Structure 1
Amino acid sequence: MKAIVSNKYGSPDVLELREIEKPLPTENRVLIKVHAASLNFGNLVLLKGEPFLARFAFGLTKPKYSILGGDVAGTVEAVGKDVKLFQIGDEVFGDLSQCGWGGFAEYVSVPEYALSLKPKNISFEEAAATPMAGVTALQGLRNKGKIKSGHKVLIYGASGGIGTFAVQIAKSFGAEVTGVCSTRNLEILRSIGADHIIDYTKEDFTQVEECYDLILGVNGSNPISLYKRLLKPNGIFVHVGGSESQLFRTLLFGPFISMAGSKKMSTLLQRANQEDLNYVKELLETGKVKPIIDKQYNISEIVEAFNYFQEGHAQGKVVITV
C-alpha cells in the first residue's frame, strides 16, 4: 500500500510517499480502507519533534511513529475475531492519536475503541475533519469550561479547526457566543451561528466592556491576565492552543490565580475517547454541527498541505484525500 512516511524530525520536506506492507487487523482491531484524513496541530508536533518535551512521548532522536495522521474516515475492510462493534463494509471515522497514528496511508489497523460509525449525512472528508478538533472543542467547553445554557462564551481563534467546532458546540449548549477572528473570516463565523463577532484587526477585544462566563483560548499569544480581566466572577478560562509562552504561563500562573480568587485559569489536554466521539457524531447527525473545510489535498500533495497548514491561517480544517 501507499503511505506517507517520516523517519526523522524536520520540515514537511522529510515526508515521503512510499510503498509499504499493508497491515492486518489483530484480535480487537479493525482494518480501514482510508478515504480521507485531516491535519491537526499534533501532526506538526510529531513531524518536527517540537516542543522538545514532546519527544519524551514521540521519540527522543527520531519519530516513534513513522506514519502521521490522527483523524481518519473510511470503510471497514476486515475485522479481528474479538471485534464486536463493527463489521465489514461499515463506514467509520475516528482519532488515532492515542493508538499509534498512521492515518496518512491507504490502509490502517485501528482498535475498535478509537472509532465511531460515520454519520450518513456527511462526506468522508467532513468526517475526517471532525474527530480531534470536535472532541477537543467539546472537552474544552463541557469538561473544563463547565458550559451551561445562557452562558456568555468568548472563543479566541474561532475560525480555525477547533474554533469552528467550538462555536457550534457552544451554541448547541444554549450559550451566547462571541467569536474573535480576522476580517477574512467574518463570514465563516456568521455562517456557523456566532451571536457576536470581534474583528481583532479593527477592534481590541480586550477593551470590550462585556465579561464572560467562559473564555476558550484556541489561538493567540495574549497574556492570561487579559483573559482574567474579561471573566465574570466564577468565570473560567481554558487554554486549548496558541503560543508556547501562553501555555507555559497558564500552566505556571493559572493555579495561583485560581486559588487567589473565584476566576479559574486552566489548560486542556485533549484525550480521544469513543464516548465523546459518539456525542459529536450525534451533533453531526442532527445538523447542529457542520465541519468547515478550508482546503483539500491529494495524499501526493502532503508537503504542500503541511506547508499551508503550518502558516496558521486555515479557515476550518485542511483535509487529505487518500
Structure 2
Amino acid sequence: MTFTSDTFTYKAYTYTSSTSGLKLDDITIKLEKQIDGSFNVPADKILVKIHAAAFNPLDVKLYNLSFWPLNYLLGKRGLGEDYSGKIVAIGEKAQLTTAFRVGDLVSGFYAGFVPHGTFSEYVLVDTTKKAEGELTHAPKNLSLTDASSWPEVYGTIRRMTVGVDLKDKKILVLGGGSSVGRYLIQYLKLEGAKEIYASASSRSEAVVKELGAKGTIDYTKGSILNGALELVKDSEPFDIIYDCVGSNDLFPKIEYLFPKTGGLYATVVGDDGFDQLTFPNFLLILQTVKRSLLSSYNYLPYTYKLHLGSFAPDWIEGGRQLIEEGKLKPFIDSYYKFSEFDKAFAHLAAGKVSGKIILKVEED
C-alpha cells in the first residue's frame, strides 16, 4: 500500500455513550516518514485491511454499560475484537520480530477498543502490546469471512481450561448452545473428558449432542438445578462445571453436584450475563466477588474461578491449528454488510443467536 502523506484516514463505527448511538466516523492515524521520503506505519505496527469482523456478547455489554464519568474519561471509542483481513503495511521492526509480511491473510483478536475497534475498514496493530498483537495466519480451510469468527471465543475457552486436567472428567457446561459453549464442548471432547453434559434449548440440543455432549438439560422447560441433580442422582458427581452464560441457579445445592473432596466451578461471566448495570445486577456482581474471595481463602467446599483478563500463552496459534486440522468447527449465525451494522447489532442485542454474527466489511 502506498501512502502519500503523514496521515491515513478510514471509516469505523464509534460511540461516546449508550445514548449517543453508534455512527460511522473518520479515524485518522499518524504515519512515519522513511529515509527515502516515503511514508509507512510506525516501526512496531502492522496495518490490516479488515475483510470481516465478528460480534461478541461483550460488544453489547460495553455499549450498554457506557455511562458518565466513564464516557468523559474514555471519549470516542469503537467496538469489536475479532477480525480477519489482509496485511497492507508493516513497520520495519515488525518485519523483523514477526513472521508476517505484506499480503498475508490473517485472523486476529484486538482488545484495544479505545479509541478503535474492529468494526472498521482497517485496524492498526501494535505488536508490542499483547492485547492488540494477537494475530495469526487465517486458517486455510475457512473463507476469509469466516476466519473472523473464532479468535475471541477460542481464546475464552482456553482461558477457562488452561492448567485444568480434563481427561476422564465428568463435566457440566452451562450454555452449551452458546458460541463459547459449542467450542468448549468440542475442546473437552478432544482433551478426553469422560462425560459431557450441557444446558441447552431444544433448538440447540441436536447440535450440542453432535459436538460431544452425552445429554442436555433444557433450561426453557424447568430448573437447571433439578436437571443437574438428576444427572448425579444415581451416578458420579460432576468434577467440573463450566458456566458460559452467567448463572447462579446451581449454588443453592451445589454441594450435591460435586464430590465431597470438592470440584471446580469456572465462569467467564459471573452470576449473571447482564447487559445493564441495574441494582439487582450490581448485587449479583457483589455475590460473584464474594464467592471468588471465599474460594481464594479456601472457605468454600469447592473451587470457584472467575476467568477474566489475558488469554493463555500461544492460544491463537493453537486455535488456528485445531481449526485447520478440522478438530474445531466454527458456527456462523448470520452475515451482514458493513452498511447494515445497526441491523447486526440489534440482532446481537436481541439474544437469539446460534453462532457468530459477522459483519462483512468487504464483500467476497
TM-score (norm 2): 0.78
Q: Does 1:109 align with 2:124?
A: yes
CA contact (8 A) 2:196 2:214 kept: yes
- Mind listing any 5+ residue stretches in structure 1 that lack a counterpart? none
Contact kept? 1:237, 1:265, Cα under 8 Å? yes
1:6 alignment partner in structure 2: 14
Partner of 1:221: 247
1:149 corresponds to 2:162: no
Check conservation: 1:255, 1:266, Cα contact below 8 A: no
- Tell me the SS of whatever aligns to 2:136: strand
Query: Which residue does the alignment assign to 1:79?
Result: 90
Matched AA of 2:294: F
Give 1:78 deviation, angstroms: 0.9
Q: Tell me the alpha carbon deviations over residues 285-322 of structure 1, each in whole angstroms, 9 at most, x when there is no partner.
A: 21111111111111111111111111222112111111
Look up the SS of the partner of 2:12 in the other structure.
Answer: strand
Partner of 2:35: none
Q: Whole-Å Cα distance in 2 between the matches of residues 150 and 246 of structure 1? A: 33
Q: 1:88 offset after TM fit, Å?
A: 0.8
Describe the shift of the 1:292–1:270 C-alpha distance in structure 2 as closer, same or farther (beyond 3 A): farther
> What amino acid sits opposite 1:254 in the alignment?
S
SS of the residue corresponding to residue 310 of structure 1 reads helix
1:99 Cα deviation after fit = 6.8
Counterpart of 1:294 in structure 2 is 333
Cα separation, partners in 2 of 1:131 and 1:10, compared to 1, 3 Å = same
Tell whether 2:54 aligns with 1:38.
yes
The answer to whether structure 1 residue 268 and structure 2 residue 310 are counterparts is: no
Counterpart residue number, 1:235? 263
Q: What is the aligned length?
A: 314
- What is the CA distance between 1:2 and its match in structure 2? 5.1
Residue identity opposite 1:26 in structure 2 = P
Q: 1:315 to 1:225 in 2, by over 3 A?
A: same
Deviation of the 1:47 alpha carbon: 2.0
Q: What does 1:132-211 correspond to in 2, within 5 Å?
A: 132-143=152-163, 146-175=164-193, 176-207=195-226, 208-210=230-232, 211=237
Deviation at 1:203, TM superposition (A): 4.8
1:46–1:63 contact (8 Å) kept in structure 2: no
The aligned residue for residue 65 of structure 2 is 49
Change (3 A) 1:304 1:173: same
3-state SS of paired residue (2:263): strand
Q: Tell me the CA shift for residue 65 of structure 1.
A: 5.1
Cα distance between partner residues in 2 of 1:282 and 1:248: 39
SS of 2:18 mapped into structure 1: coil
Q: 1:98, CA displacement in angstroms?
A: 4.1
Alpha-carbon shift at residue 274 of structure 1 (Å): 6.3
Query: 2:199·2:224 contact (CA, 8 Å) conserved in 1?
Result: yes
- Following superposition, the deviation at residue 20 of structure 1 comes to 4.3
CA contact (8 A) 1:37 1:128 kept: yes
Secondary structure at the counterpart of residue 251 of structure 1? helix
TM-score, normalising length: structure 1 = 0.88
- Give distance in 2, aligned partners of 1:23 and 1:81: 15
Q: Is this contact kept in 2: 1:23–1:107, CA < 8 A?
A: no
Q: 1:130 to 1:14 in 2, by over 3 A?
A: same
Please give the per-residue CA displacement for 1:167-207, whole angstroms capped at 9, x wherever unaligned. 11111111132121111111221332322222122353312
Cα distance, 1:246–1:156 mapped onto 2, change above 3 Å: farther
Instruction: State the alpha-carbon separation in 2 of the partners of residues 231 and 318 from structure 1.
Output: 36
Task: Name the SS for the 1:132 alignment partner.
Answer: helix
Q: Distance in 1 between matches of 2:263 and 2:323?
A: 29
Q: Is the 8 A contact 1:99 1:111 kept in 2?
A: no
- Once residues 247 and 238 of structure 1 are traced to their aligned partners in structure 2, the CA distance between those partners, rounded to angstroms, is 15
Q: Which has the larger radius of gyration?
A: 2
Task: State which drifts further: 118-127 or 80-89.
Answer: 118-127
Unmatched tracts of structure 2, length 5 or more: 1-8, 32-40, 128-132, 275-280
Q: Would you say the 8 A contact 2:53–2:84 is kept in 1? A: yes
